[in-house]
Amino acid sequence: MKFVEEIFIVIVLYKTNLEDSRTIKTLEISLDKEIKLFVYDNSPEKQYQEESFTHKKFKVTYFHDNSNSGLSKAYNHALKLAVDKKSSWLLLLDQDTCFSKKYIEAIEILKKDQLEDKTVAIIPRVISLTNNMQISPAKMLVGGVCRPLQHPGGIINSKISGINSGTLLKVDYLKSINGFNDRYTLDMLDHWYFRKIFEDGNNIFLLNAIINQDLSVHENFEESVSIQRYRQMLEAECFFIKKENLLSFFVFKLRLIVRLLKQLKLQNKNYYKFTLKKILNV
């Protein structure tokens, strides 16, 4: 069996129609044949209509969760399906990624002997659509600080982080850690499992391919991140950092103070109020 045939693919939607998804549009251009796609829709209203879906390279299985349970629940749902179908790898997609033909080809030509037994994740290089800077892979430093990692490709044994979209995770490994951590419903979930991979003595394979990602937090913060979303981000960040050492905790507090000073310039004063509350109570 070819490596690509062992992959179960999931895309998670939120208030974006599958038809209009940048991920779907760019994948269709890059694909040479039809693929099976599991769609988990977290939107209040359905974002997929079979009769009007025009992208012919996707055989869609659709699930609607109008309660917006978050990413971890969506991924765990997909993981269960991947296990049932005896898939070896789970490919995570979001709705706003630009995929390239080179990414598809890099997966198609990947051979199992390029991977080690300890290789439990496969990632592309990710470049921001907003500022053209590298998002992933990134060195994971103290206090939740991430900096671009320059790496030629292949096996990475160091502590790094990345993003969900475009990441392949080994199903057997996910089963061994009881799936995705429900405490990270959306933000920091990727940081959590990349840290977990390193802590468990496993490694990551970097593909010779680039994809592009549109991250809302890299744009105009007040316009792209609602106050409700920011509260959720803040809670996830604090929960993540509590699992780190004392130095990381101290650096994180300093980062929050710097963030608060920047947020004083925002029109909505609730941002800095929530940050201040965390600084005092974390």
* Helices vs strands, H then E, count in the chain: 9, 13
Beta bridge mates, 8: 90
Structure tokens at 117: 């037994």
Q: How many Å apart are CA 112 and CA 63, to the nearest integer? A: 32
Report d(CA 211, CA 103) in Å as an integer. 7
**pLDDT at 216 exceeding the cut of 70:** no
Residue-level pLDDT at 1: 58
Q: What is the 3-state secondary structure of 243-279? A: CCCHHHHHHHHHHHHHHHHHHCCCCCCHHHHHHHHHH
Q: What is the pLDDT of residues 234-271, one digit of tens each?
A: 999 999 999 999 999 999 999 999 999 999 999 999 99
Average pLDDT over residues 96-111: 96
What pTM was computed for the model?
A: 0.95
Please calculate the CA angle 221-262-258 and round it to the nearest 5 degrees. 115
Measured CA distances, 160 to 1, 135, 185, 196, 206 (Å): 30, 11, 21, 10, 11
How far is it, in rounded angstroms, from Cα 55 to Cα 28?
7
More confident residue, 221 or 54: 54
Does residue 218 carry a pLDDT above 60?
no
Give residue-wise pLDDT tens across range 119-136: 999 999 999 998 899 999
Percent pLDDT > 90 in the chain is 92
Residue 33: phi and psi, rounded to 5, are -150, 170
Mean pLDDT on 7-35? 97
Identify the band that residue 221 occupies on the pLDDT scale cut at 50, 70 and 90.
confident
Cα(86)–Cα(227) distance, integer angstroms: 41
Using alpha carbons, list the distances in angstroms from residue 55 to 15, 51, 180, 197, 266: 19, 11, 30, 35, 41
Residue closest to 40 by CA, chosen among 162, 180, 178, 218: 180
Could you give the 3-state DSSP secondary structure of residue 37?
A: strand
Question: How far apart, in whole angstroms, are the C-alpha atoms of residue 204 and residue 157?
Answer: 7
Domains of the chain: 3-213 (3.90.550.10), 221-281 (no CATH)
- Mean pLDDT, the chain, whole residue set: 95
Return the pLDDT at 219.
59
Q: Token digits for 93? A: 């997609």
- Please report the pLDDT score of residue 160 as a whole number: 98
Region 88-103: mean pLDDT is: 97
pLDDT at 130: 85
